[in-house]
Amino acid sequence: MADFLRGDDEEVASFFAFQDVITAVLGILILIALQLSFSINVVKGEEGNKESTDDTTITEEEFLDHQSKRKNLEVTLSQLRERNRELMRKKQAILSSGQSAKGLENSLEILRAEVEQLTKDYNAFLKTLAQKEKTLREEANKLGLSSVQDEVSELLKKSEKEHKEIAALKRKIEDLNSRLSDSMNDLSAEKSKRNSLWMIPERSDDGKDPLLVTIDDRNMRFEEFDKPESLRVLRTSSLTSSFKSGVESYSTRRFKIVFLFKPSGAHYFKKIIELAKELGFEVGYDPIEESQKVIFSLPD
């Protein structure tokens, strides 16, 4: 159908081809602009990287030096941190004790003042003491006490000498006491020897060995000749059982009994003799002094 605005005989004009040309030209221009932009950025980036690489390149010695400095700085930093912690602890301790820096300073000032005052007092005391000593000497000279002081000094020296003499006398007395004690011990030993009764039995014809039984008011001593290990001491309070126990290991065929009666045990004489004979022993007897010690062995 023909366009009503045109005539039927007019030729129709189309703009699509011109639009395509314009679009294609614009696309090419945009592509060229983009390519140029990418090329410029790549060149600048490479140049920038090249310059940066050249600026940050260091030698191995510089690297080691920087590393050492870094370690030193770390150590210093650690020390500073520890110091800071120590200061904080001290500060906390001061705050916890209720004392401020101003309070400590005031305390130190008070102590300094007290020390200064004590020093002054001490010096004043020394001065007063010296003055008193001088005054006393003057008074002593006025009163004629200088000679008395000399006498006192002389008496002190004499007293010291006498004290030494007394000490020497005490040592002599102690030495004499020691000698006296030794003499008393020797006398006691000698007396003990004198009170000792040494018994050595004669050889008997019957061939029997003697069994010595010493009796006092408390004990019975059973002993073979020259055999100290055979000594047995039994109580006389149970006379019969003690005597039987003392002789039970001795045969009447090999041993005979020799009784020694001390005065305190004399009242056992009759009973103990009869008891020994009843058991079948041959007996003999003798009295001895109460203080005598019987030695029933050969001399050493």
pLDDT tens-digit series, residues 176-196: 777 767 766 665 555 555 667
pLDDT at 189: 59
Q: Is the pLDDT of residue 61 over 90?
A: no
Q: Which of 231, 223, 221 is nearest to 265 (CA)?
A: 221
Of the CATH numbers 3.40.50.300, 2.70.50.30, 3.30.420.60, 3.40.720.10, which one belongs to the domain with range 198-295?
3.30.420.60
More confident residue, 219 or 24: 219
Q: Is the pLDDT of residue 174 over 90?
A: no
Q: Is the pLDDT of residue 223 over 90?
A: yes
Query: Under DSSP, is residue 198 helix (H, G, I), strand (E, B) or coil?
Result: strand
Average pLDDT over the chain, rounded to whole?
75
pLDDT at 2: 47
Six-digit token string for 62:
């510089």
**What mean pLDDT do residues 236-241 have?**
91
Query: Under DSSP, is residue 151 helix (H, G, I), strand (E, B) or coil?
Result: helix
40-54 pLDDT tens trace:
654 444 445 544 444
Q: Mean pLDDT lowest for which of 8-12, 161-165, 181-185, 277-281?
A: 8-12
Q: Kindly calculate the radius of gyration of the chain based on its CA atoms and give it in whole angstroms.
A: 67
Can you spell out the DSSP letters for 28-41?
A: HHHHHHHHHHHHHH
DSSP state of 263: G
pLDDT at 279: 93
More confident residue, 99 or 109: 109
The count of other CB atoms within 10 Å of the CB of residue 243 is 23
How many percent of the chain have pLDDT more than 90?
Answer: 23
294, 288 contact by CB (below 8 A) = yes
More confident residue, 196 or 206: 206
295, 199 contact by CB (below 8 A) = yes
Residue type present at position 292: Q
Q: How many CA atoms lie within 13 A of 71 on its CB side?
A: 5
More confident residue, 103 or 238: 238
- Burial of 272 per CB tally in 10 Å (0-12, 13-18, 19+): buried
pLDDT at 184: 66
* H or E element, residue 171: helix 146-194
Q: Is the pLDDT of residue 36 over 70?
A: yes
Strands 196-198 and 255-261: unpaired
pLDDT at 153: 73
Q: Which of 275, 235, 229, 284 is nearest to 256 (CA)?
A: 284
117-170 pLDDT tens trace:
878 877 787 787 777 777 777 776 766 656 666 666 777 777 777 778 788 777
Q: At what angle do helices 146-194 and 101-143 cross, to 10 degrees?
A: 100
Q: The tokens 């007394």 sit on which residue?
A: 166
**What mean pLDDT do residues 60-73 have?**
75
Q: Is the pLDDT of residue 216 over 90?
A: yes
Contacting residues for 268 by C-beta, under 8 A, at least 6 apart: 215, 236, 239, 261
215, 261 contact by CB (below 8 A) = yes
Strands 255-261 and 209-215: parallel
Contacting residues for 255 by C-beta, under 8 A, at least 6 apart: 208, 209, 210, 211, 281
Contacting residues for 94 by C-beta, under 8 A, at least 6 apart: 100, 101, 104
* H or E element, residue 222: strand 219-224
Q: Where exactly are the structural domains of the chain?
A: 93-143, 144-194, 198-295
